[in-house]
């Protein structure tokens, strides 16, 4: 028995040594290709380990700690709180429906804009693209401040609406309400969906669209039966990207505070009582949900493409 275990250990060590030697000193083209792949992936792998795997593992460990200040013991109390407490369930519901609503709105705006950009020769197209993609370079706090400038108590549009309607500016302003937060979200999310959909539209078979129009299909019918099936994978990818963005936004909601969502509550757990274990449980659950959602949807997208 001991001899078999020793033999197995020897075979494993020899296999590892041979693998390392093939990477360090490759003798075949296949081994050289493997070395190139490893070399190119090594910086990202190190970054993933340091800034991804290690923090997530530590956060997971803290979420089961009995103590709030030091990692000690084991308990599922904080996860039970997330499931049983109506307060946290309401926050989860707010996060999901608001991210879903802003995702749908962003996609509905991005699709016709991407269609126009790819199908028509627009004047000053580079300038239009620059303006449309500009929000991608702005942090959430800046986007929130812009909403306050536009729709706050002394905002530009607030003054105009108050003047035309005869109402008080305070009654008209909505920057720190749900509607203001909604506009701030889609301001950041539409450009992300647009950039992805533009690439999808570039691959659309225009000959099939022209054939449908020649056969008497209306523009709406052509889009529904010819264009939409071709851009469907891009739509799903854009929806995944935008939905994940909606779940992760923090700076915007921290300033506007129009709705209590998951990321804002994590900040409250850390700043009001420093309940790091509860915050870790919330962050772990958030990561598991987003990761599982992404894997499931992308698997569905891959299946759709293969069909």
Nearest to 101 by CA among 290, 242, 300, 241: 242
Q: What are the residues whose beta carbons fall under 8 Å from the beta carbon of 98, sequence distance 6 or more?
A: 178, 181, 182, 185, 246, 259, 261
CA torsion 35→37→40→44, rounded to 10°? -120
pLDDT digits (tens, 9 = 90+) for 178-235: 999 999 999 989 998 998 888 888 888 888 888 888 888 888 888 888 888 888 888 8
What digits encode the pLDDT tens for the residues 93-132? 999 999 999 999 999 999 988 888 887 787 877 888 888 8
Give the pair of three-digit tokens for residue 70: 């030091």
pLDDT in tens, 63-93: 888 776 667 778 888 999 999 999 999 999 9
Among the listed residues 255, 251, 281, the one whose alpha carbon sits nearest the alpha carbon of residue 266: 281
Distance CA 256, CA 181 (A): 6
Q: Please identify which residue in the block is written with the tokens 């946290």.
A: 88
């Amino acid at each position: 028995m001991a001899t078999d275990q020793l033999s197995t250990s020897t075979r494993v060590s020899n296999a590892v040594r041979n693998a390392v030697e093939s990477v360090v000193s490759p003798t075949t083209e296949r081994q050289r290709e493997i070395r190139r792949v490893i070399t190119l992936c090594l910086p990202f792998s190190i970054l993933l380990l340091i800034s991804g795997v290690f923090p997530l593992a530590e956060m997971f460990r803290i979420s089961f700690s009995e103590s709030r200040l030091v990692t000690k013991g084991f308990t599922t109390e904080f996860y039970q709180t997330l499931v049983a407490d109506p307060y946290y369930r309401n926050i989860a519901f707010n996060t999901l429906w608001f991210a879903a609503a802003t995702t749908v709105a962003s996609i509905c705006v991005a699709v016709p804009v991407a269609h126009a950009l790819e199908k028509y020769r627009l004047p000053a197209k580079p300038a239009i693209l620059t303006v449309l993609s500009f929000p991608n370079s702005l942090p959430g706090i800046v986007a929130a401040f812009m909403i306050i400038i536009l729709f706050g108590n002394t905002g530009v549009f607030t003054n105009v609406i108050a003047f035309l309607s005869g109402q008080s500016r305070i009654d008209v302003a909505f920057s720190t309400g749900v509607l203001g937060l909604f506009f701030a979200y889609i301001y950041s999310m539409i450009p992300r969906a647009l950039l992805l959909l533009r690439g999808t539209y570039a691959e659309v078979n225009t000959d099939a669209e022209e054939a449908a129009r020649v056969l008497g299909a209306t523009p709406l019918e052509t889009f529904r039966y010819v264009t939409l099936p071709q851009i469907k994978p891009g739509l799903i990818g854009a929806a995944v990207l935008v939905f994940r963005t909606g779940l992760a936004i923090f700076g915007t909601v921290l300033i506007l505070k129009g709705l209590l969502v998951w990321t804002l509550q994590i900040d409250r757990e850390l700043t009001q009582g420093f309940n790091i274990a509860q915050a870790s449980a919330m962050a772990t659950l958030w990561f598991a949900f987003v990761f599982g959602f992404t894997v499931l949807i992308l698997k569905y997208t891959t299946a759709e493409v293969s069909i």
